[in-house]
Amino acid sequence: MTPSCSASPSWRPSGRWSGRCSPTSCTRRSTRACATTDGRAAPAPELAGRPPAVAAGEVPAGRSVWRLVLDVFLENRLAIAGLAIVVAMVLFCFVGPLIYRTDQIHVMLDQASKPPSGAHPLGTDDTGRDMLGRLMLGGQTSLEVGLAAAVIATFFGALWGAVAGFTGGAVDSLMMRFVDGLLAIPSLFLLLFLASVLTTSVPMLILVVALISWLAPARLVRGETLSLRGLDYVHAVRVMGSRGPWRAILRHIIPNTVGTIVVNVTFQIADAILIVATLSFLGLGVRPPSANWGSLLSDGVTYTANGYWWLVYPPGVAIVLTVVAFNFIGDALRDGLSARLRVR
């Protein structure tokens, strides 16, 4: 029943109606003071139909944080373009060889350094192998090493940082001084040393890249953990008698740093692809007939003076596009997971 107002008090036994309100009469001016039959304040007519205001830092009812992150991501055109490039590169490298079949094992010197033609859309390299097929093969190695090294480095770094930040004290100081000591060593020098003493292969490249890439996520997650360990729910876990720090770290700390971890993975993939390209350019990559984009670029630079542009530009463009695409995705995820953009 619609509440209405009158000058005399009405139906006071339950205290639901004031002296100005009754179930039979109401005016626009007194609507704010009226109450419905269930005791709740009736909204003013001019406010009816408007969504309730959302306080800063709160998530609107019916929408999860991840849905808001997705909305922010989809609004970023550069992120959509980056995602399309990554998907296209994955299809090109892993599905392309199933459609465009080439011989990447045998050497055919009579076909060496041929320019692009109908038979070879991107020409041939100095051993007569098709460059388009070589680009697909090199992309497989670069993407596999980049993705695997980024996941391993981020997982280990997140665990290291969470343990250090949650434990605190002397353990935190010792663990983080070890990280600082490794960060003080030039990464290129450390890469060259590891690559020279280890047998070069795809698993070894993954290990080498991961060994120098876990330091940054360790520092990031440790900083997040320092701000989380003082919250009430973490104290509640300790009061409830949790056995050791692992339950709090695995069940409460790391899940609440997932935003930082996800964003870091995308940047780590881009960095790993560049590191692999750098090692291969310096001659420390996988051995032929295997290839990656860095080794293809290194081989092509040798013939730049001869005008063999098809040996240089395709792998170089592939590296740049893939790295920039992952950076676009990382930037969009960082914006979507930041606190100031969770409520839109």
Per-residue model confidence as pLDDT tens digits over 243-293? 667 777 877 788 888 878 888 899 999 999 988 888 888 777 777 778 889
Rounded distance between C-alpha atoms, residue 291 and residue 336, angstroms? 36
pLDDT at 308 (0 to 100): 87
pLDDT at 64 (0 to 100): 63
Residue 58 lies in a domain: no
334 neighbors 263 (Cβ within 8 angstroms): yes
Residue 319 has, within 13 A of its CA and on its CB side, a CA count of: 25
Rounded distance between C-alpha atoms, residue 60 and residue 67, angstroms? 11
Residue 148 has pLDDT above 50, yes or no: yes
Q: Which of 96, 185, 100 is nearest to 140 (CA)?
A: 96
126 shares a domain with 23: no
CB count in 10 Å sphere of residue 88: 13
Percentage of the chain exceeding pLDDT 90? 24
Q: Which of 112, 225, 124 is nearest to 175 (CA)?
A: 225
Rounded distance between C-alpha atoms, residue 276 and residue 149, angstroms? 10
- For range 191-218, the mean pLDDT: 84
125 neighbors 100 (Cβ within 8 angstroms): no
Residue 223 lies in a domain: yes
192 shares a domain with 147: yes
- Read off the CATH number of the domain in which 209 is found: 1.10.3720.10
pLDDT at 14 (0 to 100): 42
38 shares a domain with 159: no
Q: Who's near 179: CB < 8 A, 6+ residues apart?
A: 160, 215, 218, 219
180 shares a domain with 70: yes
Please compute Rg for the chain using Cα positions. Answer: 31
> What residue has token string 């999860």?
64
pLDDT-based confidence at 23, cuts 50/70/90? very low
Residue 239 has pLDDT above 80, yes or no: no
pLDDT-based confidence at 35, cuts 50/70/90? very low
Residue 19 has pLDDT above 70, yes or no: no
pLDDT at 10 (0 to 100): 43
Residue 53 lies in a domain: no
Of the ranges 153-167, 179-193, 240-254, the best mean pLDDT one = 153-167
Tell which wins on pLDDT, 344 or 200. Answer: 200
Rounded distance between C-alpha atoms, residue 307 and residue 34, angstroms? 85
Give the DSSP letter of residue 2.
-
Name residue 243's beta-bridge partners: none
Range of the domain at 126: 65-341
The tokens for 196 are 């020279």
Residue 318 has pLDDT above 90, yes or no: yes
Residue 48 lies in a domain: no
Rounded distance between C-alpha atoms, residue 203 and residue 171, angstroms? 32
132 neighbors 92 (Cβ within 8 angstroms): no
124 neighbors 131 (Cβ within 8 angstroms): yes
> Cα(first)–Cα(last) distance of the chain, in Å?
36
213 shares a domain with 176: yes
The tokens for 220 are 């990031």
87 shares a domain with 30: no
pLDDT at 55 (0 to 100): 43
* Size of the chain, expressed as the number of residues it contains: 344
- Report how many domains make up the chain: 2
322 neighbors 85 (Cβ within 8 angstroms): yes
The tokens for 272 are 């790993």
108 shares a domain with 20: no
Tell which wins on pLDDT, 146 or 244. Answer: 146
12 shares a domain with 150: no
134 shares a domain with 229: yes
Residue 42 has pLDDT above 60, yes or no: no
Residue 88 lies in a domain: yes
298 shares a domain with 155: yes
pLDDT at 12 (0 to 100): 46
- Report yes or no on whether pTM surpasses 0.75: no
Per-residue model confidence as pLDDT tens digits over 85-107? 999 999 999 999 999 988 888 88
pLDDT-based confidence at 32, cuts 50/70/90? very low
Rounded distance between C-alpha atoms, residue 334 and residue 266, angstroms? 10
79 shares a domain with 32: no
Residue 57 lies in a domain: no
> What is the chain's mean pLDDT, rounded?
78
DSSP characters for 211-251? HHHSHHHHHHHHHHHHHHTTSHHHHHHHHTT-SSSHHHIII
295 neighbors 141 (Cβ within 8 angstroms): no
Rounded distance between C-alpha atoms, residue 172 and residue 329, angstroms? 32
211 shares a domain with 74: yes
